[in-house]
């Protein structure tokens, strides 16, 4: 069994806080029009210019806005962290695709946010999280339980 230092959980907490603040801000703009954002109708209008396949534009817009806003709120205390972080990884992959298909460059922010969210997917939220309190078994086989004292 690998012992992870408490400082690693502090680092994961800091990553979760930064991701939460960023995604609550941007997701709130898209979903509710907070912070001067367009709201879901305006964001749906933007998405419709991208001609994304398969799903209606309102579904694409809602999936992105919910993943960002609700996912941001869920990551703050570390609730269902891997689920929401995976949603944010997919959301950032789509954001990179959308920006590039629109001919826009500079996807460094999206790439950085995607990697930070992937870190939560792979490493988990750490022991300073609701997940550590709720789940008494490891989420992956042969992994160490994040809630045990170290």
- Write down the domain spans for the chain: 6-134
Cβ neighbours of residue 138 under 8 Å, at least 6 residues apart? 144, 145, 146
65-118 pLDDT, tens digit per residue, is 999 999 999 999 999 999 999 999 999 998 898 888 777 788 999 999 999 999
Residue with tokens 């959308």: 98
pLDDT surpasses 60 at 17: yes
Sign of CA dihedral 116, 85, 71, 62: positive
**Across 116-134, average pLDDT:** 92
Which pLDDT band, with edges at 50, 70 and 90, does 46 fall under? Answer: confident
Which pLDDT band, with edges at 50, 70 and 90, does 133 fall under? Answer: confident
Is residue 38 helix, strand or coil? coil
- Rounded to the nearest integer, the mean pLDDT of the chain is 87
């Amino acid at each position: 069994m690998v012992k992870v230092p408490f400082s690693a959980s502090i680092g994961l907490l800091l990553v979760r806080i930064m991701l939460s603040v960023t995604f609550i801000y941007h997701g709130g703009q898209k979903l509710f029009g907070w912070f001067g954002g367009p709201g879901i109708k305006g964001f749906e209008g933007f998405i419709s210019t991208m001609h994304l396949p398969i799903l209606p534009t309102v579904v694409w817009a809602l999936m992105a806005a919910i993943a960002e806003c609700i996912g941001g709120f869920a990551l703050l205390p570390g609730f269902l962290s891997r689920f929401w972080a995976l949603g944010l990884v997919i959301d950032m992959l789509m954001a990179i695709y959308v920006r590039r298909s629109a001919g826009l460059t500079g996807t460094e922010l999206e790439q950085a946010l995607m990697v930070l969210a992937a870190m939560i997917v792979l490493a988990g939220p750490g022991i300073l999280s609701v997940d550590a309190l709720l789940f008494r078994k490891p989420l992956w086989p042969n992994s160490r339980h994040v809630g045990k004292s170290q």
